[in-house]
Amino acid sequence: MHPDQLVFNDLWSELSATRDLPEIDHERLHEYRMGRLRSELADRDADMVLVHNPVSLRYAMDYRTYTLFQSRTPTTYAYIALDGPTIAYEGYGDMPRASEMRRGHALSYFDGGEGMAAASERLADDVVRYLDDIGATRRRVALEYINPSVVQALEQRGVEVIDGMNVTERARLIKSEDEVACMRWAVAVAEHAIAHVEQAIRPGVSELQLWGLLNYTNLANDGDWHDGRMLASGPRTNPWLQEASPRRLEAGDLVAFDTDMVGPFGYFADISRTMLCGPGSPSARQRELYDHARREVEHNRALVRPGITLLEFQEQSYEQLEEFHELAYPCIVHAVGMCDEYPRIDPRHRGPNRYDDVLQPGMVLCIESYVGAVGERDGVKLEEQVLVTEDGYEQLTSYPLDERLLG
């Protein structure tokens, strides 16, 4: 096939060709998110937050340019005030959600080199001018993770610095109706890709080829990236967290994957499935592992309800057999929005959860399970995404489990 035809003859990847997009009011979505950020600033008695994390820039201003570069070499940043204009610095292209765009100062060694201290002094002066312009009296500023020289320069100017991640993470905690609609579409795109991965599973295909289908479908639907390339087969399913490799599938292999997908509109679809590579039937042990994972997800999903605390949830959570403790997944539950987000709940056998909080309507959670024993060939990964509702939960993911492994 001519290379051009690989794209022009693609009649399957764009989900909007066969399914209507959800109703999303983007202006309402933007106003809600800005309202959440300002509410968190008010709760912390802060005048402004300086954001540069690419997820925060997307949340606040729908800015999505050079996101992976921005994550390691922060260049673009913005001032978001409790009461004042949103000023963006060093943005690429148009930024219609910003009140104004300006030239900025170096935030990273890449841009500042040995002159970072001087650049931080200039940035601190700019922040002080901004506080004066908006009539701020608290002189309390939230900063996302940033070069320590910026903190030092601000404190030398009498500005109190607090942790900006407390502002941005808590703002993202409760999703609006429009955010949930965005997430439903991201999940639909991910499950559309999963269907094509399942069709392509056969002896001889490589893990990388299968993973490529997930990535290609996401991009073809205007999604962004995957946080990891979590797809493994056969002996590479145990232990978990081995990324896709050139290994080619063999009959009888388990194929396990986790989408970890920043999809359309910037929202996350986090779905894990484990499937059998035929022909043939699964072994009794493969079915047993699958059953343990299914039971863990179902048990913990049933605990989801508003008002339950993280510690209560952990105490009531499914207790896996001791043979699976060592390789168990790092958490049994985590929140999700534009990425994996606060909070998380650890497996009970690893001791009390590192912090407490309470589930609230509008939170979106992922219910996780990985089951594999040390020294064995196979492991099973399953995960579902659910919305916390007023009286329980609504499951957002719907891709079916592998009936052959259910037995």
Q: What is the pLDDT of residue 263?
A: 98
Domain with CATH 3.90.230.10 in the chain: 177-406
pLDDT tens for the 407 residues of the chain, in order: 566 667 778 889 999 999 999 999 999 999 999 999 999 999 999 999 999 999 999 999 999 999 999 999 999 999 999 999 999 999 998 899 999 999 999 999 999 999 999 999 999 999 999 999 999 989 999 999 999 999 999 999 999 999 999 999 999 999 999 999 999 999 999 999 999 999 999 999 999 999 999 999 999 999 999 999 999 999 999 999 999 999 999 999 999 999 999 999 999 999 999 999 999 999 999 999 999 999 999 999 999 999 999 999 999 999 999 999 999 999 999 999 999 999 999 999 999 999 999 999 999 999 999 999 999 999 999 999 999 999 999 999 999 999 999 97
CATH class belonging to 177-406: alpha beta
Q: Helix 177-200 vs helix 26-43: angle between axes, to the nearest 10 degrees? A: 110
pLDDT of residue 8: 79
What CATH architecture does domain 26-171 belong to? Answer: 3-Layer(aba) Sandwich (3.40)
Element holding 110 (H helix, E strand): helix 109-112
Q: Beta-strand (E) ranges in 121-205?
A: 140-143, 160-163
Separation of alpha carbons 36 and 179, rounded Å: 13
Q: What does the pLDDT read at residue 1?
A: 57
What pLDDT does residue 407 have? 75
Token pair listed for 404? 């052959």
Q: Which residues contact 283 (CB under 8 A, 6 or more apart)?
A: 252
The boundaries of every CATH 3.40.350.10 domain in the chain are 26-171
Contact 130, 79 (CB under 8 A): yes
SS3 389: strand
Is residue 195 within 8 A of residue 228, CB to CB? The reply is no
Position 3 scores a pLDDT of 60
Distance of CA 62 to the CA centre of its chain: 16
At residue 9, the pLDDT reads 83
First to last CA, the chain: 41
Q: Give the Cβ contact number of residue 394 at 10 Å.
A: 12
Reduced to 3 states, what is the DSSP secondary structure of residue 176? coil
Task: State how far the Cα of 203 lies from the Cα of 206, in Å rounded to an integer.
Answer: 9
- Reduce the DSSP state of residue 243 to 3 states and report it: coil
Other Cβ atoms closer than 10 A to 53: 22
Order of strands across the sheet that contains 48-51? 100-102, 87-89, 77-81, 48-51, 140-143, 160-163
